[in-house]
């Protein structure tokens, strides 16, 4: 048993909102590994960072992701930094991974550089956010089956792109049930592999998300 789709992306990309919408569109359950970590630790992620440090959080995250990948049959959303783990990236190679990309300016607008996001707390959260995008973009693309640039899209539009773009499910049907989909060998939807977040920084539609 494994997820039909695993959703990854930076803070503000819309992983939870899109994951929930995609699961609803496909008639499947939704799961969020950040929620699993909070439930297991008995405290919010911000407190885990404060009390135990980021390395301890990453260990919890790695275990939570491995467990969810092995047992969840629906749509699974991972925390923004989950791809930092080589072990997690190796596991993701066996799954259909949706990369939700977001440009720098739009990501700043959506997140508000909130203190609820522990990695964005500091003297210059804008600079830190750009560092996160630059550091993680190659890792997201390393694991991605499908990539969607979300800056100019509503959550419903992102879900529609994914339903049309996901690789065939068992039985030869596309995610929308209409038949085989396009070649899943690499990012396919919404953007090209050589685009960077800065190339879309001036687009500012109305969409908000999320705690990572």
Residue 109 annotated as binding site: no
Residue 14 annotated as binding site: yes
Query: At CA 109, angle to CA 108 and CA 111, rounded to 5?
Result: 65
From 35, 146, 163, select the one nearest 100 (Cα to Cα). Answer: 146
Residue 16, Ramachandran bin (φ over 0: left; ψ between -120 and 50: alpha; else beta): alpha
Residue 15 annotated as binding site: yes
Structural tokens at position 209: 């998300």
Residue 17 annotated as binding site: yes
d(CA 153, CA 9): 15
d(CA 170, CA 172): 6
Residue 16 annotated as binding site: yes
Residue 34 annotated as binding site: yes
Residue 136 annotated as binding site: yes
Strand (E) or helix (H) holding 6: strand 5-8
Residue 12 annotated as binding site: yes
Residues flagged as binding site: 12-17, 34, 58, 80, 117, 136
Binding-site annotation: residue ranges for substrate? 34, 58, 80, 136
- Residue ranges for the binding site for Mg(2+)? 16
As annotated, the binding site for ATP includes: 12-17, 117
């Amino acid at each position: 048993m494994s997820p039909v789709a695993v959703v990854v992306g930076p803070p503000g990309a819309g992983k939870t909102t899109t994951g929930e919408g995609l699961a609803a569109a496909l008639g499947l359950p939704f799961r969020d590994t950040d929620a699993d970590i909070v439930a297991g630790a008995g405290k919010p992620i911000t407190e885990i960072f404060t009390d135990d440090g980021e390395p301890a959080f990453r260990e919890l995250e790695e275990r939570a992701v491995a467990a969810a990948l092995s047992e969840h049959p629906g749509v699974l959303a991972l925390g923004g930094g989950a791809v930092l783990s080589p072990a997690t990236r190796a596991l993701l190679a066996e799954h259909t991974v949706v990369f939700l990309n977001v440009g720098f300016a739009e990501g700043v607008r959506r997140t508000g550089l909130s203190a609820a996001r522990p990695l964005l707390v500091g003297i210059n959260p804008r600079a830190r956010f750009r560092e996160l995008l630059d550091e993680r973009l190659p890792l997201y693309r390393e694991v991605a089956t499908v990539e969607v640039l979300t800056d100019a899209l509503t959550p419903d539009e992102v879900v529609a792109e994914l339903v049309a773009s996901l690789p065939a499910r068992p039985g030869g049907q596309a995610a929308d049930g209409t038949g085989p989909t396009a070649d899943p060998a690499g990012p396919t939807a919404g953007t090209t592999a050589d685009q960077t977040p800065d190339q879309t920084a001036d687009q500012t539609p109305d969409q908000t998300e999320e705690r990572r």
